[in-house]
Amino acid sequence: MNEQDFLADYDPRAYPAVAVTVDVVALTIRDASLHLLLIRRAEQPYAGHWALPGGFVRPDEDLTDAARRELAEETGLGGERLRRVHLEQLASYGAPDRDPRMRVVSVAHLAFAPDLPDPAAGTDAAEAAWVPVAGLTARPLAFDHGRIVDDALERARSKLEYTPLATRFLATEFTIGDLRAVYETVWGHPVHAGNFHRKVLSVPGFVEGTGTSTERGGARGGPRARLYRAGDARLLHPALLRPAREETAR
Amino acid sequence: MNEQDFLADYDPRAYPAVAVTVDVVALTIRDASLHLLLIRRAEQPYAGHWALPGGFVRPDEDLTDAARRELAEETGLGGERLRRVHLEQLASYGAPDRDPRMRVVSVAHLAFAPDLPDPAAGTDAAEAAWVPVAGLTARPLAFDHGRIVDDALERARSKLEYTPLATRFLATEFTIGDLRAVYETVWGHPVHAGNFHRKVLSVPGFVEGTGTSTERGGARGGPRARLYRAGDARLLHPALLRPAREETAR
DNA sequence: AGAATAGTGTCTCTAAGACACTATACT
DNA sequence: AGTATAGTGTCTTAGAGACACTATTCT
């Protein structure tokens, strides 16, 4: 039976219900390590476990709008600051048994946020916090959220290669060193400072100079660094490729 | 309200119904041009328009399983031949008004198929056919399927760059010339034969020789070509990058 | 014979990465 | 003073692309 035949004589109330939710993997960098926004579940199943923020898609809402709303609710963010957060669709997860209560298809999203204040405690019934990604292996997330986070991290690492979205983790003005710290944190390995510096400046539209410099040098010494803004490029040519990993190639 | 609170006291029957469907953008190469599998709608809305094959996700079916089932139903394919078709999730489309009848969230998939016979007429109520992609601009597709196809084509062009999936458009044994024809057809521009040849053989795991050659030379002359099989690489290192397009970069 | 293709050789230019070095500003 | 960082210079090597050329097999 085809979609159109099916829809033509389809009675929504008679069909097994499917719920559509959005979940958000919101990443940020705090204290030089990668964090993501999680909420702690109060109810069964998975009571006490951490889970991704998310919720039902409302009747008149597009998918990404729903994700942005959920993000706003959990972070207390709004207006200009919310608009600066990068948000994109990641993938959909719909294994029949992924939620023990009913059939739930979740459209997962990926967000890159600058360093934000802690979620205001008490705005919501659930506890929400920025949690270090590194500590996640110890405590498994609710549902299939661990798998979703894995996919999100791989997407994030890949996005830094060929888009200028690393700047979305930073304030509007940043130094090349700040930008390099984003790459090192997300990729999880050091990046050569000198080569990175030259490379970033050579890619058209990645960053543009402000003409100003930092007020002070680095905390442990060094000259004042020039400040840059995000440029107008949407893709990086040439890309900043991670070193090839043989395991993933085969 | 959070997902877990919401779900805890959620009555599926009381909530506005959302339907979840899968749609498939199945690509193949016929007569040296890119084709996709479409069905012609018999019913309103969009009666007479071409649309993507697709349908409802069944209660105990994962999303990609549903897409593979839809593809099998429309192509009449099964077993080993169906398993050789590459199928991956593309993205989900859920604008509130994308279907005039009700709220439908569609999880679109992308398929790469070798040249297949025409869909058997009459196996299904709807007419199904492989349609040249080039002619689509003239006749708009139903719903937002035009947008989905655009996204699918861009994903396909990009996938050829960094994965060996071009081989999925071909039979198990193919020549380097066959492979180059896939790239030229999907990318829509000529690729330098000599450089392509050397490049493909230099990427580890892209193709492996069979030790045999074609029975005859090319239709318009030329020596017999060596035959290759797909190798074991899942990613191409280094990638076969398309020439940079300035428009998309900015 | 003439033409088209398979496959290889060679050269140039870009880009990545390793390393070195200077200048600056911190503790 | 000692040390860390910003930023630049230089060298080597890999890879992309342009071009040329031979061998083979078609009409």
Domain CATH number, residue A216: 1.10.10.10
Interface of B with A in 124-163 (CB under 8 A): 124-126
Q: Which residue is nearest to nucleotide C26 (CA to C1')?
A: A221
**Residue A149 structure tokens:** 């986070």
Whether residues B22 and B111 share a domain: the answer is yes
Residue B186 has a pLDDT of 98
Residues B104 and B227 occupy one common structural domain: no
* Averaged pLDDT, A236-247: 84
- In this prediction, residue A78 has a pLDDT band, given cuts at 50, 70 and 90, of confident
Domain boundary among B103, B126, B156: B156
Smallest CA–C1' separation from A226: which nucleotide? D6
Q: Which of B8, B104, B18 minimizes the C-alpha distance to A17?
A: B18
Same domain, A102 and A207: no
CA–CA gap between residue A236 and residue A223 (Å, rounded): 28
The rounded mean pLDDT for chain A is 90
Residue B243 has pLDDT above 80, yes or no: yes
B137 & B51 share domain: yes
pLDDT tens digits for B194-222?
Answer: 999 999 999 999 999 999 999 998 889 89
Distance CA A107, CA B10 (A): 19
Split at pLDDT 50, 70, 90, the class of B118 is confident
B157-196 pLDDT per residue, tens: 999 999 999 999 999 999 999 999 999 999 999 999 999 9
**Are B235 and B125 found together in one domain?**
no
For residue A204, what are the domain limits?
163-249
The neighbour count for residue A70, using CB atoms within 10 Å, is 26
Residue A204 CB closer than 7 angstroms to strand C? no
| Mean per-residue pLDDT, A53-59 | 95
Q: List chain A residues with CB under 8 Å of B233.
A: 249-250
Cβ distance of B250 and A232 shorter than 8 Å: yes
Joined together, the tokens standing for residue A111 give 């967000």
B145 and B98 housed in the same domain: yes
Question: What is the structure's pLDDT at A4?
Answer: 45
Q: What is the CATH number of the domain that holds B26?
A: 3.90.79.10
pLDDT at B121: 59
User: By CA distance, what is A7's nearest residue in B?
Assistant: B101
* Residues on chain A touching B5 (C-beta within 8 angstroms): 42-43, 125-126
What number of other Cβ atoms are within 10 A of residue B185's Cβ?
Answer: 20
Which of B3, B55, B61 lies at the smallest CB-CB distance from A3?
Answer: B55
Distance from residue A192's CA to nucleotide C25's C1', rounded to whole Å:
22
Residue B76 pLDDT class (50, 70, 90 cuts):
confident
pLDDT at res. A43: 87
**Does A211 lie in the same domain as A245?**
yes
The reply to whether the CB atom of residue B58 sits less than 7 A from any atom in nucleic acid chain D is no
Tell me the backbone φ, ψ of residue A90, rounded to 5 degrees: -100, -70
Residue B248 and residue A232: Cβ atoms within 8 Å?
no
d(CA B152, CA B233): 23
* Count of domains observed in chain B: 2
For range A189-208, the mean pLDDT: 98
Identified catalytic residue from B61, B73, B88, B127: B127
Residues of A that are catalytic: 127
Distance from CA of A180 to the nearest CA of B (A): 21
**Residue A231, token pair as written in the block:** 């440029």
| Claim to verify: residue B9 and residue B62 sit in the same structural domain | yes
Query: Which has the higher per-residue pLDDT, B1 or A143?
Result: A143
Q: What is the mean pLDDT of residues A75-89?
A: 91
B190 preceded by a cis bond (ω within 30 of 0): no
Q: What percent of chain B has pLDDT over 70?
A: 89
Query: What gap in Å lies between CA A143 and CA A8, rounded to an integer?
Result: 34
Told to judge if B3 belongs to the known catalytic residues of this protein, a careful annotator would answer: no
For residue A189, the tally of other CB atoms under 10 A from its CB is 9
Q: Are residues B241 and B188 in the same domain?
A: yes
Beta carbon of A238 within 7 Å of strand C?
A: yes
Of B119, B140, B156, which closes a domain? B156
pLDDT at B124: 56
Same domain as B32, residue B104? yes
Cβ-based contacts (< 7 Å) between A 12-41 and strand D: none
CB contact under 8 A, B94 and A204: no
CA of B197 to C1' of D17 (A): 13
Strand partners, A92: A107
Name the residue facing A250 among B8, B55, B233 (closest C-beta). Answer: B233
Residues B17 and B131 both lie in one domain? yes
pLDDT at A47: 93
pLDDT at position A57, please? 96
A105 and B235: CB-CB below 8 Å? no
Q: What is the pLDDT of residue B77?
A: 83
- My answer on whether A75 and A185 are in the same domain is no
Mean pLDDT of A243-250: 57
- Is the separation of the CB atoms in A61 and B96 below 8 Å? yes
Closest-CA distance of chain A to residue B23, Å: 9
Identify the CA nearest to A23 among candidates A96, A100, A89: A89
- Provide the pLDDT confidence category of residue A9 given band limits of 50, 70 and 90: very low
Cis previous bond, A114, omega within 30: no
Neighbours of A126 (CB within 10 A): 20
Interface of B with A in 52-91 (CB under 8 A): 53-57, 59-63, 89, 91
Domain boundary among B106, B125, B156: B156
| Coil, strand or helix at B9 | coil
Task: Report the pLDDT value the prediction gives residue A248, as an integer from 0 to 100.
Answer: 43
The answer on pLDDT for B145 being more than 70 is yes
C-beta atoms of B20 and A20 within 8 A? yes
Check if the beta carbon of residue B180 is closer than 8 Å to that of residue B207.
no
Average pLDDT of chain B is: 90
Helices and strands per DSSP (H, E), number in chain B:
7, 9
pLDDT above 60: residue B89: yes
pLDDT of residue B123: 55
State whether A5 and B43 contact (CB < 8 Å). Answer: yes
Supply the pLDDT for residue A5.
47
Tell me the pLDDT band of B79, cut-offs 50, 70 and 90.
confident
DSSP A21: E
pLDDT tens per residue across span B1-57: 444 444 444 454 445 679 999 999 999 999 999 999 999 998 889 999 999 999 999
Encode pLDDT of A117-136 as tens digits.
888 655 555 789 999 999 99
* Residue B245 CB in 7 A reach of strand C: no
